[in-house]
Amino acid sequence: MSLSFFDIAIILFFLLVYVIVGVAAGKKSSGSSTDFFLSGRNMPWWLLGVSMVATTFSADTPNLVTDIVRQNGVAGNWAWWAFLLTGMLTVFVYARLWRRLGTVTDLEFYELRYGGKAAAGLRAFRALYLGVFFNVVVMATVCVAGVKIAGIMLGIAPWKTLLIAGAVTVIYSAIGGFRAVILTDFVQFIVAMAGSVAATWYIIDLPEVGGLATLFTHEVVTTKLDLLPSLDKPEEFIPLFLIPLAVQWWSVWYPGAEPGGGGYIAQRMLSAKNEKSAMGATLFFNVAHYALRPWPWILIALASLVVFPSLESIQTAFPDIPSSQIGHDLAYPAMLTFLPSGLKGLVLASLIAAFLSTLSTHLNWGASYVVNDFYVRFVNPTASASAQVRIGRLATVLLMVLAGLISFTIETAKEGFGLLLQIGAGTGLIFILRWFWYRINAWTEISGMVISFIVALGLKVAGKAGILNLANHEELMLGVGLTTIGWLTVTLLTKPEEESVMRRFYIIVRPMGRYWKRFADTDSIEKADTVSLPLQVTAMLAGCMAVYCALFATGHFIYGNYSSAVILTAISTLSAAYIFFIRKRIA
């Protein structure tokens, strides 16, 4: 696809903006590791919330949604819509607890909640396992999407795409640290949303598509429009809706949707000014992530079924793309090739913004683990502030290189999504219960992590060898079951943590529950939470109701079902009003 001078100018302008912001932020990010990884803990809630949304608005997300819609219809998105439950649980229950930790990274939690060599070993291993291995796999999945978009729209070789995008991201991330990530995220979110909406508007009116009315009556599209899978088709209802909503959201660890919060979401909560700001940021993220963004991607995915009804049609249209890269996720960038000059540049700039935003966040987050939770904690505890920042910048570069190399082993965004879900299957409940159930100890987390990885690897090998022939949801359920039984057994066979460790944790975090109150001192009693857990759970459910109804109301307005849209809008408004009414009690 050829680009005009105007298109190229738009793209180069935004790339230059990101680099300038990174260099400018570098002056305030070099003082200490707290400045480099948390920006001094003074970021406003709205900026942190936008950053969370921008990070999850990655280049692979539209491709993933397109893959899902083309194969499983709109209802297939419950595979990630279900994670709203854990998101709202984080907002109303865990956000305040994370902010109270006052740590640089969420991995410091391990040596506050647990004690001894097991806790230290767990922290060291998780620093490398999550910060390097797991993090690199996530970035590699994002790189796959970036490579496909560049290949379709620009005809650029994969290595060139990774070299250019990686270089720009590393420059502003390594120089400006977390402050640069947050500030560029703000710009990138605006650009990404504008490009997404503009592209959808134009593509729906293409002669090949014929507008919304024609699109929704097309024989290929009519079977893909349902927001909920039919109960009459258990082969669809169970894997697409029941399992994600009943099991997946609480049992699976996935970046950006960790049960109980964690990862780069926790990093932003830890950088907030206070507990109220941490809650506000995560609430904004969940509303925007699930209610604001999905429909432009969904509409383009549906339109792609008309223009490119099969994988063969995509291969025919783009013969230079290797057959190994041809998948349903490729339909999204394929549709963007129809855009006119000027809009091409804006949309490409938006996709590049989404791509860089996700990479920059993961680079800074992963580097924070490598520096704070491994290098300083176990290698060089006396490292100076400048040395920590220097190691952080070096880690940023190396993580980008590793992600680029691994990206050549992953074929589609959906494949990467499924792999990450399977690796984390069965560990999610640990992250929910560890704040409240005193029996959870370091060995619980170690066993859960080891068992889930072994089970995921075993299922992968068995599937490749033809020993097992399980569907993805069957593998997920088996992984959750075996892992949960394993870590529960280990928990009950091992002792709880020492009382001195429990007391230290309670004084800092003040978690709810009768058992914890035995460790309270006068100071922690005075500061103890007066918010009841049932009220927080009620707020969580109201938040889910508000967002889901807003999401579906938008869909029904687009479909032309105005009566259903009005009813859903009313329910969403009432749910939001309830949260507003009790906001002071839960904050």
pLDDT tens readout for residues 475-494: 888 989 999 999 999 999 99
Which two tokens mark 68? 């899902």
More confident residue, 386 or 95: 95
Average pLDDT of the residues in 193-206: 91
Which two tokens mark 423? 């690796």
260 in a structural domain: yes
* pLDDT over 90 (residue 85): yes
Integer CA distances (angstroms), 247 to 239, 434, 458, in order: 11, 18, 21
φ, ψ of residue 463 to 5 degrees: the values are: -65, -40
pLDDT at 7: 83
pLDDT at 191: 84
Calpha distance 194→322 (Å, rounded): 31
Calpha distance 402→396 (Å, rounded): 10
pLDDT tens readout for residues 243-282: 999 988 998 877 777 888 888 888 888 888 888 899 999 9
pLDDT at 2: 67
What are the residues whose beta carbons fall under 8 Å from the beta carbon of 206, sequence distance 6 or more?
A: 303, 307, 338
Q: What does pLDDT average to over the chain? A: 85
454 in a structural domain: no
Counting the structural domains of the chain, the total is 1
> What three-state secondary structure class fits 308?
coil
In percent, the amount of the chain with pLDDT more than 70 equals 92
Listed residue (113, 95, 122, 105) closest to 503, CA to CA: 113
φ, ψ of residue 43 to 5 degrees: the values are: -85, 135
> What three-state secondary structure class fits 425?
strand
Note whether 186 and 47 are within 8 A (CB): yes
What pairs with residue 252 in β-bridges? Answer: 425
For 419, counting Cβ atoms within 10 Å of its Cβ (0-12 exposed, 13-18 middle, 19+ buried), the class is middle
What pairs with residue 272 in β-bridges? Answer: 43
pLDDT at 580: 92
pLDDT at 529: 60
What pairs with residue 425 in β-bridges? Answer: 252
CATH of the domain at 74: 1.20.1730.10
Tally of CB atoms within 10 A around 572 = 21
With cut-offs at 50, 70 and 90, classify the pLDDT of residue 542: very high
pLDDT tens readout for residues 105-136: 889 999 999 999 999 999 999 898 888 888 88
In this prediction the pTM is 0.85
* Cα 531-535-536 angle, rounded to 5 deg: 80
Integer CA distances (angstroms), 301 to 19, 68, 228, in order: 33, 9, 17
Calpha distance 573→415 (Å, rounded): 37
518 in a structural domain: no
Q: Which of 159-173, 298-312, 364-378 has the lowest mean pLDDT?
A: 159-173
Average pLDDT of the residues in 165-173: 76
Would you say the C-alpha torsion 147, 9, 57, 223 has a positive or negative sign? negative
Residue with tokens 């479909």: 559
pLDDT at 38: 65
φ, ψ of residue 252 to 5 degrees: the values are: -115, 135
pLDDT at 411: 62
Integer CA distances (angstroms), 182 to 131, 187, 373, 521, 569, in order: 19, 9, 22, 38, 32
Which two tokens mark 205? 């009116």
Q: Which of 229-233, 539-543, 558-562 has the lowest mean pLDDT?
A: 229-233
DSSP per-residue string spanning 509-521: H---STGGGGG--
Q: Which of 92-106, 200-214, 249-263, 424-438 has the lowest mean pLDDT?
A: 249-263
Secondary structure, 3-state, 90-157: HHHHHHHHHHHHCCCCHHHHHHHHCCHHHHHHHHHHHHHHHHHHHHHHHHHHHHHHHHHHHHHHCCCC
Note whether 476 and 422 are within 8 A (CB): yes
**What are all long-range contacts of 373-378, with beta carbons under 8 Å and residues at least 24 apart?**
373/105, 373/107, 373/108, 373/123, 373/124, 373/126, 373/127, 373/131, 374/124, 374/127, 374/128, 374/131, 376/33, 377/120, 377/123, 377/124, 377/127, 378/120, 378/124
pLDDT at 37: 67
pLDDT at 344: 84
> What three-state secondary structure class fits 584?
helix
Average pLDDT of the residues in 399-413: 76
456 in a structural domain: no
> What three-state secondary structure class fits 494?
coil
Secondary structure, 3-state, 352-403: HHHHHHHHHHHHHHHHHHHHHHHHHHHHCCCCCHHHHHHHHHHHHHHHHHHH
pLDDT at 585: 81
What are the residues whose beta carbons fall under 8 Å from the beta carbon of 4, sequence distance 6 or more?
A: 341, 342, 344, 345
Calpha distance 447→486 (Å, rounded): 7
* pLDDT over 60 (residue 21): yes
More confident residue, 151 or 307: 307
> What three-state secondary structure class fits 252?
strand
Average pLDDT of the residues in 171-180: 74
450 in a structural domain: no
* Cα 94-95-97 angle, rounded to 5 deg: 65
Listed residue (74, 47, 39, 151) closest to 551, CA to CA: 74
- Which range marks the domain in which residue 112 is found? 5-413
The greatest distance separating any two alpha carbons of the chain, rounded to the nearest whole angstrom, comes to: 73
441 in a structural domain: no
Which two tokens mark 216? 């929704």
More confident residue, 545 or 471: 545
519 in a structural domain: no
* pLDDT over 80 (residue 412): no
* pLDDT over 90 (residue 307): yes
* pLDDT over 60 (residue 560): yes
pLDDT at 167: 81
pLDDT at 517: 73
* pLDDT over 90 (residue 62): no
Average pLDDT of the residues in 180-206: 87
Integer CA distances (angstroms), 179 to 119, 171, 296, 365, 369, in order: 30, 13, 29, 12, 17
541 in a structural domain: no
